[in-house]
Amino acid sequence: MEKIAVAAINHKGGVGKTTLSIILTQMALLKRQKVLAIDLDPQRNFTDALSFIADYFKGTLRVKATLEPEDAECEEDWIILDCPPVLGDITREAVDFADIALAPVRPDFFSLSNLGVLYSFVEETGKDRNQIPVVKVGYDTSRLARMVEQILVEKQYPVAGRVPLNRLIPYNITLGRIWSTGLTADARRPFEQMYSRIVGAYERMLAGDFTTSWGD
């Protein structure tokens, strides 16, 4: 696979943007990929979490706090950008740089109501709509979740994955463990599927196929 740059974006806090960035980074590293992690959020939670596991991945993980033009020519296989929870110049620069911008969305109407603004912001950079897939975070069988999912379908938002909330994941991250420590194969599967979908979609995009890039 060619080098891929993935940004995690949302101007609503608490949707799992940084956790998603951490999981993707660790998944790529565990697959023997080199990763450049760029922490653009001034809270620096992405940097702090990755510092706990740095010894596991010496030589394959590099972390920095600024995005520079020469990063496009870096030696790493993945560039993962954790953006601040605002739609400002820094996020615009990151989205313009990224091949794919993931938008984690929780099953509530506040998250949903912000999506239109988010898509308008990203599309101003000239990105195709399919370069801005949603990641459904914590969707269940509740009536509200089903309603939100129906709206996502009606508005034809592309979907990169559907991942559950799991209390063990933030616990692992906080303790400096690999994100999946102690998770069953079933619990890991949605995250593995999301990773595979991102890789597959990017390969189709490289071939010029944006229309069916997230097709099942």
Query: Domains of the chain (ranges plus CATH)?
Result: 4-194 (3.40.50.300)
Using a pLDDT cut of 90, give the percent of the chain over it. Answer: 72
Residue-wise burial string across 90-114, b where 16 or more C-beta atoms lie within 10 A, e elsewhere: bbbbbbebbbbbbbbbbbeeebbeb
> How many angstroms separate the CA atoms of 104 and 153, rounded?
15
pLDDT, tens only, 23-63: 999 999 999 999 999 999 999 999 999 999 999 999 999 99
Rounded to whole angstroms, the Cα distance separating 171 from 14 reads 16
Residue with tokens 């400096």: 176
Nearest to 86 by CA among 43, 50, 45, 47: 43
Angle between helices 45-53 and 17-30 (to 10 degrees): 30
What token pair was written down for 152? 């996502």
Q: How far is CA 197 from CA 6, 7, 73, 178, 210, in A?
A: 13, 15, 24, 21, 13
- Closest by alpha carbon to 216, among 164, 137, 165, 161? 161
Q: In the predicted model, is pLDDT for residue 81 greater than 70? A: yes
Highest mean pLDDT: which of 79-88, 107-116, 205-214?
Answer: 79-88
Q: Which residue has the tokens 């990169």?
A: 160
Which of the four pLDDT bands, split at 50, 70 and 90, describes residue 113?
confident
Comparing CA positions, the residue from 123, 190, 144 lying closest to residue 163 is 190
Q: Which amino acid is at 12?
A: K
Over 80: is that where the pLDDT of 13 sits? no
Joined together, the tokens standing for residue 27 give: 């998944």
Give the amino acid at 80: I
Over range 141-168, report the average pLDDT: 90
Q: Which of 99 and 147 is assigned the larger pLDDT?
A: 99
CA contacts within 13 A on the Cβ side of 28:
26
Q: Is the pLDDT of residue 216 over 70?
A: no
d(CA 145, CA 152): 11
